[in-house]
Amino acid sequence: MKNLIIISAPSGTGKTTLCKGIRKIFPEINWSISYTTRFKRPNEIDGKDYNFISRNTFDKHIKNKKLAEWENVYGSLYGTAKKTLNDAIKEKLFLLLELDVKGALKLKKLYPKNTISIFIIPPSFEDLKKRLKLRNTESEDVIKIRLKRFEEEINYKSKFDYIISNDILDIATNELVKIVKQIRRDKNNGFKNITI
Ligand code: ADP
């Protein structure tokens, strides 16, 4: 059953913004809350946007094999709990995940029968630069590293099932809504948390 829906994109493309929009539109859909050691941004809520944990706790989760995948993204660790995925599979829940590109590819490999993947691209490299600057959450140096990684990550877009360009936010959101609805319709036979 294809019930793990992964939304992924290079940093600054707008995946968090799009996911927030989708969460508002489909409040009934389950969300995978990642663990991270990254600092909490002012607009984020612990336990809702991420489970913000210390490096020490994260290392314990790795050691205890609690994570299905984990990544070092620009010096911060991000991971997905195995339990979240296994519960969703067992209970036939439609689960949305927001993941970095490497994490998305890893989960696709680990759960090939359960995943559908969506890759978000920026309208242009210039737009991406502007967005990262405007977001104002990282230093110039960190932004440079993210932009460099973009060139590598964009090569993976063909591995994803869908590609959406996030140019005008409302249009990109609508495209995402259409895909989510399509998946719900196609796979409606079993989802326990979705009624159409
Ligand atoms: P990501 O989660 O992929 O790193 P964010 O969602 O944090 O990206 O978005 C990066 C910045 O770009 C944010 O400041 C956000 O408000 C802005 N942004 C997102 N989508 C758009 C869009 N379609 N047009 C203009 N700015 C956008």
pLDDT tens-digit series, residues 134-189: 998 889 998 999 999 999 999 999 999 999 999 999 999 999 999 999 888 876 55
pTM of the model: 0.93
What the block records as the tokens of 83 is: 């339990």
pLDDT tens-digit series, residues 75-112: 899 999 999 999 999 999 999 999 999 999 999 999 99
Q: How far is the CA of 14 from the centre of ligand 1 (A)?
A: 4
Contact 135 CB / ligand 1 (< 6 Å): yes
How much of the chain, in percent, has pLDDT values that exceed 70? 97
Q: Whose CA is nearest to atom 2 of ligand 1?
A: 16
Nearest alpha carbon to residue 4 among 178, 171, 174, 161: 161
| Rounded average pLDDT over 66-75 | 92
How much of the chain, in percent, has pLDDT values that exceed 90? 82
Q: Is the pLDDT of residue 196 over 60?
A: no
Residue of 135, 145, 149 to test ligand 1 pocket, by largest number of atoms within 8 Å of CB: 135
